[in-house]
Chain A
């Protein structure tokens, strides 16, 4: 709520469009990602006059939303998007759905045809509130300029409160021109929407009793820890070190516990480590912290951690008991609840069952010794895992943020790039949107101009929002695009190999552009590594270059991503490597899953 205006007048008359800018300022917004068009010209007129809010002109509205997501995820602030009516709004739909699935706070302002034309199939009209109802946390149509300030402030409140998510505000052009009253008091919270922040203390004591009596405990953390803010990650780390319990994280939770912490078992789930998944399967007490038992994590539900008592911390009651039956639900904010748990653990002088814990760790270390993330040497060709490993090692000591596209490269990044802090890892988990990484990196770089921002990409995904290279050029954003170029839609090819008899239907990346020349065409630097001995030099040069770079890393085309739990299989039915895959075939039940 910062503003450098000396005082906020209690009431002021102005145009709807002026109120939009004023509300953004009062919300402390510094940057918006947008693309103009007829219906939002009055707002662009105000942007022209305003010098406090920065507008970043993207090259596609989907990218505007992903950029806002990257900005939001790396800062904890609400990301803001501005698009025009009709095609502007429909282009934003993928981004909105992505933000909904991954609980990212975004406010998206969409232009709309004037109120008297709504419903008339007017030029560039789309039923934006209708189309975005299922892909937003909430949406609004502003029909009267006098509602503008209330609705805009409510939109920000809803986007960031409770379980965060995207909110659309649809703005008919006549309302943008109309005069209305801007009321500063509208900054106060929503009249009835009040998410529960603090859990019931008797439930917390019940959770403590289970935790202290555990013989084979596991802490399973997720994106909710990141949503809750950096303090939640500190508290999780404290809890883990205080109890000595093993901890695994979902794809969305990476960074919530430092990857170097000896209690960290790596990611769990479909491409998680052997030790993480077997610890989940064999646990007797599970503490789930801000994760939602996604099907990529649970595998076959009837075989999911069958013998554990389950405690679940989540701010959204609908996440609890959705897929998996919970014994002790703790509804509220992760940081609040962890603080309470730690405080009570200390006050009640609880301690873990040392003997049982030692035996449990011995078992876990045994699983760990399988070294499930191992990969073959890069002799003739660069192994993609090796490329990530070197990227990680060579970027040590820098202020690094990683985004990804979707596919094998995304999973290898999750496995082999290690995060010591939250908000450093931006990936499309729930929707799995190819084309997310480049615009998201753009948003991260805007928020952290001096940081090293790398989009770990696949050659197919990167083409889905490649036009944003032009945005990087315009704003001098030195984003690094690190392509693991296997010339295949590798993740698709892997599934076709494992589940469709090796019939590689339409998964070859035919007619690829020359990425070095492509970079140059966008005023960026293009680099290429074809042999293992070129890799380090290319990475170093990329890191040294203070301009946008595309590094085309030509990797082994046949490499598959392991470990892998085939869809619908149980945690103990993991494929650990190429030798496993021949003996296992997916169940019929599993075949229908995605």
Chain B
């Protein structure tokens, strides 16, 4: 058996109704994994959205996933960030932890070492905002879970290649509100 690899794939799509259902349907219909999927419009002039999907499979499956994505009609471009070189990945989480006394102090201390921000607090809770790799978020959430009742909301991974090449350029006047 070939080894399972984890890949982060960026997909530039027409921002039209059903496009997300098409991508998700492709993954469920063909039995591929989705570890994380994020989507948002990135070019309002051309109406393009960027989907970032983290998936895993053998190299043959990963190749299939990319080819299958690429043949969807509204897909403009597929980039395998994991295969194409170094890239940065970030995820944002909002974590609410409910606790009192020492646990509350400890939670704040840990949040400080993780550089999490306090967005909201009551006498019996904190809501933190934390940005980082998925691994960092996992570690932080695990610690919080040991210190009280926890509720978590995560965005999923967004990613972009390092360096000065632009593989999915945005039109200059497509920035939100124009330039």
Q: Which residues of chain A have a CB within 8 Å of any CB of chain B? A: 129-130, 133-134, 137-139, 141, 158, 162-163, 190, 192-193, 316-318, 320-322, 325
Determine the chain A residues whose CB is within 8 A of the CB of B70 once the complex forms. 317-318
Tell me the minimal C-beta distance from A5 to chain B in angstroms.
29
A405–B152 alpha-carbon span in the complex (Å)? 56
Determine the chain B residues whose CB is within 8 A of the CB of A320 once the complex forms. 67
15 A-B pairs whose Cβ atoms sit less than 8 Å apart in the complex: A129-B18, A133-B21, A133-B22, A134-B29, A139-B18, A141-B18, A158-B73, A163-B71, A192-B74, A192-B76, A193-B73, A316-B71, A317-B70, A317-B71, A318-B70
Determine the chain B residues whose CB is within 8 A of the CB of A133 once the complex forms. 18, 21-22, 25
B91 within 8 A of A: no
B60 within 8 A of A: yes
Determine the chain B residues whose CB is within 8 A of the CB of A139 once the complex forms. 18
Number of A-B contacts (CB under 8 A): 38
A133–B68 alpha-carbon span in the complex (Å)? 14
- The reply to whether B14 and A192 form a contact with Cβ atoms under 8 Å apart is yes
Residue from the list B18, B25, B64, B74 in contact with A318, Cβ < 8 A? B64
Q: Which residues of chain B have a CB within 8 Å of any CB of chain A? A: 14, 17-18, 21-22, 25, 29, 60, 63-64, 67-68, 70-74, 76
Q: Which residue of A lies closest to B14 (CB)?
A: A192
Tell me the minimal C-beta distance from B55 to chain A in angstroms.
15
Most buried by B among A192, A317, A322: A192
- The reply to whether B67 and A317 form a contact with Cβ atoms under 8 Å apart is yes
Q: Which residue of B lies closest to A325 (CB)?
A: B60
Determine the chain A residues whose CB is within 8 A of the CB of B17 once the complex forms. 141
Residue from the list A130, A138, A163, A316 in contact with B21, Cβ < 8 A? A130
Determine the chain A residues whose CB is within 8 A of the CB of B29 once the complex forms. 134
Q: Which residue of A lies closest to B76 (CB)?
A: A192
Q: Which residue of A lies closest to B48 (CB)?
A: A192
Q: Which residue of B lies closest to A167 (CB)?
A: B73
Q: Which residue of B lies closest to A143 (CB)?
A: B17
Known contacts A316-B67, A316-B71; 10 additional CB pairs below 8 A are A130-B21, A133-B21, A138-B72, A138-B73, A141-B17, A158-B73, A190-B73, A318-B64, A321-B64, A322-B64
Determine the chain A residues whose CB is within 8 A of the CB of B67 once the complex forms. 316-318, 320
A325–B73 alpha-carbon span in the complex (Å)? 26
Determine the chain A residues whose CB is within 8 A of the CB of B74 once the complex forms. 192
Q: Which residue of B lies closest to A190 (CB)?
A: B73
Most buried by A among B18, B29, B68, B70: B18
- The reply to whether A321 and B60 form a contact with Cβ atoms under 8 Å apart is yes
Tell me the minimal C-beta distance from B178 to chain A in angstroms.
22
Determine the chain B residues whose CB is within 8 A of the CB of A141 once the complex forms. 17-18
A130–B22 alpha-carbon span in the complex (Å)? 9
Determine the chain B residues whose CB is within 8 A of the CB of A190 once the complex forms. 73
A162–B71 alpha-carbon span in the complex (Å)? 10
Most buried by A among B67, B70, B71: B71
Determine the chain B residues whose CB is within 8 A of the CB of A158 once the complex forms. 73
A190–B72 alpha-carbon span in the complex (Å)? 13
Q: Which residue of A lies closest to B75 (CB)?
A: A192
A317–B66 alpha-carbon span in the complex (Å)? 9
- The reply to whether B25 and A134 form a contact with Cβ atoms under 8 Å apart is yes
Determine the chain B residues whose CB is within 8 A of the CB of A318 once the complex forms. 64, 67-68, 70-71
- The reply to whether B73 and A321 form a contact with Cβ atoms under 8 Å apart is no
Tell me the minimal C-beta distance from B171 to chain A in angstroms.
14
Q: Which residue of A lies closest to B26 (CB)?
A: A134
Q: Which residue of B lies closest to A192 (CB)?
A: B76
Determine the chain B residues whose CB is within 8 A of the CB of A129 once the complex forms. 18
A163–B67 alpha-carbon span in the complex (Å)? 13
Determine the chain A residues whose CB is within 8 A of the CB of B18 once the complex forms. 129, 133, 139, 141
A141–B18 alpha-carbon span in the complex (Å)? 10
Tell me the minimal C-beta distance from B97 to chain A in angstroms.
39
Given contacts A137-B73, A192-B76, contact A321 B63 (CB under 8 A): yes
Q: Which residue of B lies closest to A331 (CB)?
A: B67
Tell me the minimal C-beta distance from B167 to chain A in angstroms.
15
Q: Which residue of B lies closest to A130 (CB)?
A: B21
Tell me the minimal C-beta distance from B11 to chain A in angstroms.
13
Determine the chain B residues whose CB is within 8 A of the CB of A134 once the complex forms. 25, 29
A495–B111 alpha-carbon span in the complex (Å)? 65
Q: Which residue of B lies closest to A324 (CB)?
A: B60
Chain A to chain B: the 5 pairs with minimum beta-carbon distance, closest first: A318-B67, A138-B73, A317-B67, A192-B76, A193-B73
Tell me the minimal C-beta distance from A383 to chain B in angstroms.
42
A14–B73 alpha-carbon span in the complex (Å)? 28
Determine the chain B residues whose CB is within 8 A of the CB of A325 once the complex forms. 60
Determine the chain A residues whose CB is within 8 A of the CB of B68 once the complex forms. 318
Determine the chain A residues whose CB is within 8 A of the CB of B71 once the complex forms. 162-163, 316-318
A134–B63 alpha-carbon span in the complex (Å)? 20
A317–B69 alpha-carbon span in the complex (Å)? 11
A92–B25 alpha-carbon span in the complex (Å)? 20
Tell me the minimal C-beta distance from B157 to chain A in angstroms.
24
A133–B21 alpha-carbon span in the complex (Å)? 9
A139–B72 alpha-carbon span in the complex (Å)? 11
Determine the chain B residues whose CB is within 8 A of the CB of A192 once the complex forms. 14, 74, 76
Q: Which residue of B lies closest to A191 (CB)?
A: B14
Q: Which residue of B lies closest to A154 (CB)?
A: B73
Tell me the minimal C-beta distance from A305 to chain B in angstroms.
17
A163–B68 alpha-carbon span in the complex (Å)? 13
Q: Which residue of A lies closest to B69 (CB)?
A: A318
A162–B60 alpha-carbon span in the complex (Å)? 23
Tell me the minimal C-beta distance from A572 to chain B in angstroms.
25
A129–B64 alpha-carbon span in the complex (Å)? 25
